[in-house]
Amino acid sequence: MSAIIESITTQIVDLPTIRPHRLSMTTMACQSLVIVRLRSSDGIEGLGEATTIGGLSYSAESPESIKCNIDAWLAPLLIGQPADNINGLAARLDRHVRGNAIARSALETALLDAQGKRLGVSVASLLGGAVHDHLPVLWTLASGDTRKDIDEAFQRLDEHRHHQFKLKLGANALRDDLRHTEAICDALKGRAGVQVDINQAWDEATAVEGIAALEAAGVELIEQPIPARNVHGLARLANRFRITMLADEAVQDAGDGLTLLDAGFSGAFALKIAKAGGPRGALKLAHLAQSAGLGLYGGTLLEGTIGTAASLHAWSTLASLRWGTEMFGPLLLKDDIVTESLHYHEFGVELPRGPGLGITLDEDRLRFYSRP
């Protein structure tokens, strides 16, 4: 007899960051995680995490709305259902729930974690099997101060922690952003690669001017320079410049991927389990991109260890990630709520071992950082 889902609980956890993290839409000094605990009649607990950036400044879901919607709407659809039928449970949510991709990602992660523990296998095994057990990880330089960013990059290089770096642009005047980027590219030339993320801050005309200068400076990749809805503009930019355009907010799932391909987009896709409704949806997008010959990038919404581990299990099943990953979320946090942190070394991170996600909660620190 199949185990039955008996309860699903959520907690909001607020973890301070090691420094202010400046993006085009907000500056973060704290990251709020919604931790999902799914318990079944066989005594197995699955863990999930729902995380976004800066409340509602990034997406239509906030930590508070995620918790509320799981508690009031999504969890009741799953409680009492067979815990091992992940396809059936996903179809049930499809019939009754619109949107809420981040909340659904946390629930799917918890179901996969529980099923892995039940069978004694990893989440990567449930997703087809790991091709890699160590994945490259870049670091985002987002202090807003050029000298501090350069010093931070040199420190990460010396520690063998990261040798690819991303800059967050778009919050300042174009001239200031270009001066900042050019200085960092000059400082890191020959030692590390540089990418930039505009977070949709430019219009297309500004993007044409900015991309030309960034290309000349030696930037390797430009992420989402214009608003997500302007898919034809993104395709035009991808085809106009040699430098690769990375679609992020414009490509949430495989349906968006088809729309971009139909528009003639020839860049790369950023994968995120949160925006695709879970690891399986992110992999559907990845397989579409691979079929079309596009490069892939393992993206993050700055999740903590649980959400990062779920992403790593998904990315590990992909033979090629042309642009690596940015799964550095736990490194941005001053503390953690797990018993054993992820192992970052040699410019990357190891895939967690053990059944399910391979992650165990630290109950004391979970209580300390949880909201009342």
Residue 274 one-letter amino acid: A
| Among the listed residues 212, 220, 154, the one whose alpha carbon sits nearest the alpha carbon of residue 188 | 154
pLDDT digits (tens, 9 = 90+) for 200-219: 999 999 999 999 999 999 99
Residues 46 and 62: beta-carbon distance below 8 Å: no
Residue 204 one-letter amino acid: E
Residue 266 lies in a domain: yes
Identify the DSSP state of 4.
Answer: B
Residue 169 to residue 233: CA distance in whole angstroms: 19
Residue 357 lies in a domain: no
In percent, the amount of the chain with pLDDT more than 70 equals: 99
Which tokens sit at 317? Answer: 């099943």
Residue 246 lies in a domain: yes
pLDDT digits (tens, 9 = 90+) for 52-110: 998 888 889 999 999 999 999 999 999 999 999 999 999 999 999 999 999 999 999 99
Q: Known catalytic residue: 326?
A: yes
Handedness of CA 350, 354, 358, 360 (dihedral sign): negative
CATH code, domain carrying 89 = 3.30.390.10
Q: What is the pLDDT of residue 90?
A: 98
Residue 31 to residue 50: CA distance in whole angstroms: 11
Q: Which of 67, 117, 168, 272 is catalytic?
A: 168
pLDDT at position 25 over 80: no
| CB neighbours of residue 201 within 10 Å | 23
Q: Which of 49, 108, 152, 326 is catalytic?
A: 326
| CB neighbours of residue 279 within 10 Å | 25
Residue 138 to residue 331: CA distance in whole angstroms: 11
Tell whether 132 and 165 lie within a shared domain: yes
Q: Known catalytic residue: 275?
A: no
Burial class (CB in 10 A: 0-12, 13-18, 19+), 113: buried
44, 274, 302, 160: CA torsion to nearest 10: 80
CATH code, domain carrying 268 = 3.20.20.120
Q: Which domain holds residue 36?
A: 5-120+362-369
Residue 356 lies in a domain: no
* SS3 call for 79: coil
Tell whether 99 and 131 lie within a shared domain: no
Tell whether 160 and 193 lie within a shared domain: yes
Residue 304 to residue 100: CA distance in whole angstroms: 19
Tell whether 179 and 320 lie within a shared domain: yes
pLDDT digits (tens, 9 = 90+) for 210-255: 999 999 999 999 999 999 999 999 999 999 999 999 999 999 999 9
Tell whether 113 and 131 lie within a shared domain: no
pLDDT digits (tens, 9 = 90+) for 155-175: 999 999 999 999 999 999 999
Q: How many domains does the chain have?
A: 2
Identify the DSSP state of 135.
Answer: E
Tell whether 60 and 136 lie within a shared domain: no
How far is the CA of 69 from the CAs of 28, 59, 63, 101, in angstroms?
A: 24, 15, 10, 11
Tell whether 105 and 51 lie within a shared domain: yes
Tell whether 217 and 83 lie within a shared domain: no
Residue 355 lies in a domain: no
Tell whether 78 and 131 lie within a shared domain: no
| Among the listed residues 287, 285, 295, 297, the one whose alpha carbon sits nearest the alpha carbon of residue 324 | 297
Residue 241 lies in a domain: yes
Residue 16 lies in a domain: yes
pLDDT at position 5 over 80: yes
Residue 24 lies in a domain: yes
Q: What is the pLDDT of residue 24?
A: 67
Tell whether 173 and 259 lie within a shared domain: yes
Tell whether 99 and 66 lie within a shared domain: yes
Tell whether 186 and 46 lie within a shared domain: no
Angle at 326 between CA 322 and CA 327, to 5 degrees: 120
